[in-house]
Amino acid sequence: MQSFHDVVIAIVAFIVLIGVMVVVHEFGHFLVAKLCRVRVEQFSIGFPPRLFGIKIGETDYCVSALPLGGYVKMTGESMPGENMSLEGAAPDQIEAQKADPGALTSHPRWQRILIGLAGPAANFVLAFVLMVVYFGWINEVPKYVVNSTTVEWIVPGSAAAQAGLKTGDVIQRFDTVDNPDWMQVAAQSTLNLGQTVQLTVERAGVPTRLSLSIPNLPKGHDFDFPDVGILPQRNLGPINVVDVSPGTPAAQAGLEVGDEVETVNGLSFHFIETMIAYLQANPGKTVTLGVVRKGAHVAITATPEKVGTKWQLGFTSANPPLRYDPLPLGKAIAQSSKFCVNNSTLIVNVLGGLFTHKVAVSQLSGPVGIARMAGQAAQMDGYMPKFWTAAAISLNLGILNLLPFPILDGGMILFLLIEGAMQRDININVKERIYQAAFVVLVVFFVFIIFNDVTKLPIFMHVKQ
């Protein structure tokens, strides 16, 4: 069950992360509006009520009470839902604004389109810059590099075993991706829940084509490799013991802090997750651990005990060792570009999957889900989870705002393109009714997503079980 500590961290991480993302998004609108000489009446960090600020020229720069982002108020914004209002401007007020050279509506459509594009573009730039900083100044890599997508172990009777996958196979192609890394394999699996994917593995130097059925997962359960019975090889070193709990099978068998577990029943395991899966597949059976202790090889025999629903030995392992390997600026830019393209493509594929019924709406995450991800990233070791999560969410925010749906930036841009093709404005009453209906639909969808997020929380999943 999620602890109070985890909840607090999740809330704080969400507020900081979303706050930065939305402020950067609104700053994009603000900057291009200023360049186009549109009058910006207010630039607020946070949502009303206003706490304090300063007026410089025609703009009120302020900090408001609700710390969930911010907004920009431009003269001439008149559609429902803009700047937290469901009421549009009166027709006479709109006509007056058209005569005001500083109003948004008095500017050419191409400038208004640029202003609309600037918010999502700012999110794309933020994601790109974050990953350039990560790759150029940090770039955590495994101390023991694993360059191939090698299978460390296959769970007997699993979907992977039924597909014919074997320990030592190297995945050369998975679905539509050639030479994928494990992150790409996981992403493609998520997009194909309940489907069968084609893959090619290299086995003893010979390419072998296989078909893997990806099972549908329970609501609230994110895809993980053990779901199909695959345990990836992520590390080349042994499993390092950093703690042994008193009274557990590991302690009774004589396992010590500092031991290096190289084999389990003669199988070479490099990652604790593989050992855990092996223990679950062989419930209660005695195992022999091949251990290196101060340079000497020792065989330790232990019988796992069941704690809750899991079989375990009772020791904690170190995370796979990492080292910093900053890239030259050119390579950092290339890696950042690759990250942004791959993740943007994944987001588009997920949205496409909604319409082709390959992805269920229940798989989407809203504010609560994002808060959980932000909290988990904040508590994970290393910088990579934090940078990756922030950049991925920024890309999501940018792409979602480009969707051609009223209220969103993409909806405004679509109206402007239609008006440009018609060479006249769409009737204001028609446009206002569309915006009002879209606002209601968006609120209903938002409520559904929040409800969906809440039902995925550990406390509710525990109740269901």
Pure H helices in 80-153: 91-98, 109-137
d(CA 216, CA 195): 8
Q: What is the DSSP string of 309-375?
A: TEEE--EEEPPPPEEE-PPPHHHHHHHHHHHHHHHHHHHHHHHHHHHTTSS-GGG---HHHHHHHHH
Greatest CA separation for the chain: 88
d(CA 384, CA 261): 27
3-state secondary structure of 56: strand
Residue entry with tokens 């990579």: 384
Contact 45, 62 (CB under 8 A): yes
Residue entry with tokens 């879209």: 438
User: Angle at CA 338, nearest 5°, toward 332 and 344?
Assistant: 135
Contact 300, 261 (CB under 8 A): no
Residue entry with tokens 């010979």: 206
The identity of residue 296, as a single letter, is A
Give the active site residue among 26, 77, 152, 432: 26
Contact 154, 333 (CB under 8 A): no
Strand-strand pairing, 170-174 and 140-142: unpaired
Residue 6: Cβ within 10 Å count: 16
Of residues 37, 79, 45, the one with CA closest to residue 65: 45
**Both structure tokens of 158:** 């699993």
3-state secondary structure of 88: coil
Contact 140, 383 (CB under 8 A): yes
Q: Is 419 a catalytic residue?
A: no
CA distances from 422 to 57, 110, 151 (A): 37, 14, 58
**Both structure tokens of 293:** 């202790």
Residues forming the active site: 26
